[in-house]
Structure 1
Amino acid sequence: MSDLLRFEDWSDPVPPAEREVISRLPGGDRLSEGDRERPPLLFVSGHGAWVFAEHWLGHAAGRGFPAYAVTPRPGGDPRAQVHDVVQVAASLPRQAVLVGHGAGGRVVARALGRYPARAAVLVAPALDGWAALGAALRSNPAGTVPALLGGRPRFSARQLFGPEFPAEQAAAHVERIGVRPRAELFGRTSLPEPAGGPPTLVVGTPDDRVVSRPALDRAAARYGGAPLLFPGMGHLLMLETDWAEPIDAILDWLDKELPH
């Protein structure tokens, strides 16, 4: 049976759950006819929808893209998180572009086997859990070792942000992120072939302390390309001081790949 329809979805269905979905639409709450021609963007991050709501959602809407962000349910169950993303994507008015960041990139990579996205963007995607664990041990051993003992890891500002990012802002963001379930970060899951073969872009930074440059190269090669890199930034590109650079590059790429 294909990834689009699997026996376990019938024999062991994912239980219902409330989903946090944040949206920003061009021109406010209503779409113009011109805006309806652009595909909606669905952003997914392991840290929650708020990381996109800070800057990227409004910026994408300002350029005419209906923008949504979903927080997959907590707990580290990959199948349930994929289910949440697919259900939200299917509820949107048009075939969506899936944008996944970090652990959310792995959720999106799996969701692509179930949902025929218009396109996909993987931002600093943690596709290889063991590689992410190794990078975390090097950059934040005190916060990562508990995960090896069955506990929950805690991020540090040094892991997530570039050296020029204001320390007080970084500390506030790290506090908001808190801790994440071990399986959600470091689990190893197989990735399906994307349904329909959508164009896929991998975006990141060579200075990322969570997803290394070799990991970015491997992720991009998997989808037949090379990563688009933004030096000097940290893992949370959407919160960095120069946050507009990567999202503008992503939207430019979508305009080129998906002319309207």
Structure 2
Amino acid sequence: MKLDIVHQAAPEKRHPTPILLVHGLWAGVWAWKEHFMPHFASAGYDVYAVSLRGHGNSEGTEKLFTTRLNDYMKDVHEAVLSLPQKPILIGHSNGGMVVQKYLQEHTLPAAVLLGTMSISGSWMTFLRGLKNDPALFLKVTFTFNLQHLVGSPERARTAFFSNTLSAEKTARYFQQMGRESFVAFLDTLFVQLDPRKLKTPLLVLGAERDFFFTPAQQQQTAKAYGTTAHIFPNMAHAMMLEEGWQEVADHILNWLGLEISRL
């Protein structure tokens, strides 16, 4: 599987451990390029981002509908093996679930779950959506098409962004959103993770106004791994693109500085 892996080198490399960024639903490496990649590079890290199969410029578009969650985990493994050494993993949303699954079998220097899918999967999110907007979520279910959740700039804003994000940015991000695998979504309904298997130092970050995964879900995930989630106020799901993204990125850098110093 040929994967789209983008690299941004640190102008002044101050950290030997690279960072690998893993996107969530409807996204690709584009979600990291604007803010997080240059910011982490300027802090002295070599930064990589991967588009999972069927996303961005990676292969697999023709088989996207039947792509499984484990396929995405294989993509992360392939990306990790392509790097000069074991990286720090940062996974957003569904990418956070992929990272959690990967860390069931592999240990890395550190990992960050950013607005992650809960350790218990997506059942609670789906049931909450069915309660709040039954017509929309029934449409998604009976058409096997997740695209209805982000089918317009307005829906994309509801799902991903705060009202403070400009219309220009919202439209630009919406234009880059791709399609998704309904089969992989079904996998997340029945995912089983054993938190005892995770040996990697872990940071869990959530957003107060996250449409998909509530602060309570973030705390549930963090508690399962023996830590506490940090929740950013007045922020929506796409934390790497929201106004205030730098506060999130700097929180990660500060935590990494403490964790890497312990290695």
Shorter-chain TM-score tier: 0.7 to 0.9
With over 3 angstroms needed to count, the CA separation of the structure-2 counterparts of 1:38 and 1:135, relative to structure 1, is farther
Give the Å deviation of 1:137.
Answer: 3.9
Secondary structure of 1:240's counterpart equals coil
With over 3 angstroms needed to count, the CA separation of the structure-2 counterparts of 1:172 and 1:244, relative to structure 1, is same
In 1, distance between residues paired with 2:117 and 2:89? 15
Give the Å deviation of 1:180.
Answer: 2.0
In 1, distance between residues paired with 2:132 and 2:53? 27
In 2, distance between residues paired with 1:161 and 1:43? 20
Residues 57-110 of structure 1: CA distance to partner in whole angstroms, max 9, x if unpaired? 110000011111111113341111101101211221122111110011100000
Which residues in structure 2 correspond to 1:189-228 (within 5 Å)? 189-193=191-195, 197-228=199-230
* Equivalent residue number for residue 60 of structure 2: none
With over 3 angstroms needed to count, the CA separation of the structure-2 counterparts of 1:64 and 1:136, relative to structure 1, is farther
* Equivalent residue number for residue 172 of structure 1: 172
In 2, distance between residues paired with 1:126 and 1:236? 13
* Equivalent residue number for residue 80 of structure 1: 71
Give the Å deviation of 1:171.
Answer: 2.7
* Equivalent residue number for residue 234 of structure 1: 236
Secondary structure of 1:149's counterpart equals helix
- Conserved? CA contact 1:139–1:159, under 8 Å: no
- Conserved? CA contact 2:195–2:224, under 8 Å: no
Say yes or no: does 1:39 pair with 2:32.
no
* Equivalent residue number for residue 246 of structure 1: 248
Secondary structure of 1:174's counterpart equals helix
In 2, distance between residues paired with 1:172 and 1:232? 22
The letter of the residue matching 1:202 is V
Secondary structure of 1:238's counterpart equals coil
Which residues in structure 2 correspond to 1:111-122 (within 5 Å)? 111-122=102-113
In 2, distance between residues paired with 1:143 and 1:64? 44
Gaps of 5+ in 2: 55-63
Gaps of 5+ in 1: 1-16
- Conserved? CA contact 1:86–1:114, under 8 Å: no
- Conserved? CA contact 1:116–1:198, under 8 Å: yes
Say yes or no: does 1:148 pair with 2:141.
yes
Q: Size of the alignment, in residue pairs?
A: 238
* Equivalent residue number for residue 92 of structure 2: 101
Q: CA RMSD in A?
A: 2.1
Secondary structure of 2:240's counterpart equals helix
Percent identity between the two aligned chains: 27
In 1, distance between residues paired with 2:100 and 2:116? 9
Say yes or no: does 1:20 pair with 2:11.
no
Further displaced range: 82-91 or 143-152: 143-152
In 1, distance between residues paired with 2:137 and 2:9? 38
Give the Å deviation of 1:195.
Answer: 5.7
In 2, distance between residues paired with 1:205 and 1:158? 14
Say yes or no: does 1:161 pair with 2:141.
no
* Equivalent residue number for residue 32 of structure 2: 52
With over 3 angstroms needed to count, the CA separation of the structure-2 counterparts of 1:227 and 1:99, relative to structure 1, is same
- Conserved? CA contact 1:139–1:209, under 8 Å: no
- Conserved? CA contact 1:115–1:195, under 8 Å: no
With over 3 angstroms needed to count, the CA separation of the structure-2 counterparts of 1:137 and 1:68, relative to structure 1, is farther
Secondary structure of 1:125's counterpart equals coil
In 2, distance between residues paired with 1:19 and 1:132? 29
Residues 122-147 of structure 1: CA distance to partner in whole angstroms, max 9, x if unpaired? 00111321122234446665553332
